[in-house]
């Protein structure tokens, strides 16, 4: 009998102990939840919070409605939004984000400069409302085709570096364009540039271009950069008399038929080929390093005899 009573007492004590422990556990869990909400507890659940905070931060960027310039570089933005509150903005920087689509810009009619450098954009679109845009940079994205720029009649500078563009097209309407940067793409031919009558600088380096032509209409062209392509002959520049800087290094040029500046790392081996430089009275600088003609002991003197008005030969200024 005494043994039975003791067992019964022990059972009651165990039950009370368990209930007390259960209450403490529930209270502890409740406190943890409350503390977690307040952000004061370093638990396994709270360790996941920074990732949520990052997403919230990207979605809740505070914009000043009166701002003239908005810089959202490296802000982890995935989707463009909330720009309709910007009434005076003229410049928006969206470099180094996660944007996949150009959208929600229709209210930014005063915008003059827009930069999407280093995002994940695959198509040029939804820019028709930006009628005052002067500078557009969509470099280092995934663009495959130049398109939908017809309304940007005031555009002066267009940067499409390091995309997947295979053809120069749909640019003839950009009559005020002064600079076009198409380096590091997959372009094989220079074409469809006749309408760019005010173009002064054309960058086509690191493409797959095999021939220098279709530049006759670019009368105001001052700079042509076409290094690291597949050219074997220098030609087609007789009409570009305003050309001041020509970059042609890292091609396979063996013959010159009309040009100007940087011929480094080619195969020019006769002085007769350089006589064409006389056609360019505005020529200021010429690079001929690592060509056979540069090994001539009288190299610099002979270059100056051909074009006495040059100010710089290779990296050295003329005296």
CATH fold match for the domains 54-164 and 183-319: yes
Between 54 and 114, whose confidence is greater?
114
Report residue 297's pLDDT band, with 50, 70 and 90 as the boundaries. Answer: confident
Architecture of the domain delimited by 54-164? Alpha-Beta Horseshoe (3.80)
Between 262 and 128, whose confidence is greater?
128
Tokens of 114: 């827009």
> Mean pLDDT over all residues of the chain?
79
Report residue 196's pLDDT band, with 50, 70 and 90 as the boundaries. Answer: very high
Between 205 and 273, whose confidence is greater?
205
pLDDT tens digits for range 27-43: 444 443 333 333 333 33
Instruction: List the chain domain ranges.
Output: 54-164, 183-319
Distance, CA of 93 to CA of 116 (rounded, Å)? 7
Residue 178 has pLDDT above 50, yes or no: yes
What is 183-319's CATH number? 3.80.10.10
Q: So what's the pLDDT on residue 9?
A: 39
Residues of the chain with pLDDT > 70, as a percent, come to: 72
pLDDT tens digits for range 40-69: 333 333 333 343 344 445 546 889 999 999
Min mean pLDDT across 134-148, 152-166, 214-228, 266-280 is at 266-280
Distance, CA of 134 to CA of 143 (rounded, Å)? 20
List CB contacts of 2: < 8 A, sequence separation 6 or more: none
Residues of the chain with pLDDT > 90, as a percent, come to: 50
Between 214 and 54, whose confidence is greater?
214
Pairing of the two strands 113-115 and 135-137: parallel
């Amino acid at each position: 009998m005494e043994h039975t009573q003791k067992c019964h007492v022990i059972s009651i004590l165990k039950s009370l102990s368990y209930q007390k422990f259960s209450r403490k556990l529930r209270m502890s869990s409740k406190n943890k939840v409350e503390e977690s909400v307040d952000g004061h507890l370093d638990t396994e659940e709270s360790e996941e919070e920074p990732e949520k905070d990052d997403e919230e931060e990207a979605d809740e960027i505070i914009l000043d409605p009166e701002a003239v310039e908005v810089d959202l570089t490296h802000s982890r933005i995935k989707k463009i939004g909330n720009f309709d509150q910007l009434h005076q903005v003229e410049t928006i920087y969206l470099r180094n984000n996660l944007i996949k689509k150009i959208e929600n810009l229709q209210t930014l009619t005063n915008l003059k400069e827009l930069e999407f450098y280093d995002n994940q954009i695959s198509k040029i679109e939804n820019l028709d409302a930006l009628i005052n845009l002067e500078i557009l940079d969509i470099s280092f994205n995934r663009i495959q085709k130049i398109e939908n720029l017809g309304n940007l009649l005031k555009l002066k500078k267009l940067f499409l570096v390091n995309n997947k563009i295979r053809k120069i097209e749909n640019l003839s309407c950009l009559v005020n364009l002064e600079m076009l940067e198409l380096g590091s793409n997959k372009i094989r031919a220079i074409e469809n540039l006749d309408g760019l009558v005010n173009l002064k600088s054309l960058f086509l380096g690191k493409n797959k271009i095999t021939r220098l032509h279709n530049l006759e209409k670019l009368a105001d062209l001052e700079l042509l950069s076409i290094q690291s392509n597949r050219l074997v002959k220098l030609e087609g520049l007789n009409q570009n008399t305003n050309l001041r800087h020509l970059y042609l290094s890292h091609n396979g040029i063996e013959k010159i038929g009309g040009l100007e500046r940087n011929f480094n790392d080619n195969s020019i081996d006769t002085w007769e080929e350089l006589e064409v430089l006389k056609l360019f009275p505005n020529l200021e600088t010429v690079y001929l390093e690592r060509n056979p003609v540069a090994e001539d002991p009288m190299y610099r003197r002979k270059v100056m005899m051909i074009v006495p008005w040059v100010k710089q030969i290779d990296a050295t200024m003329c005296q």
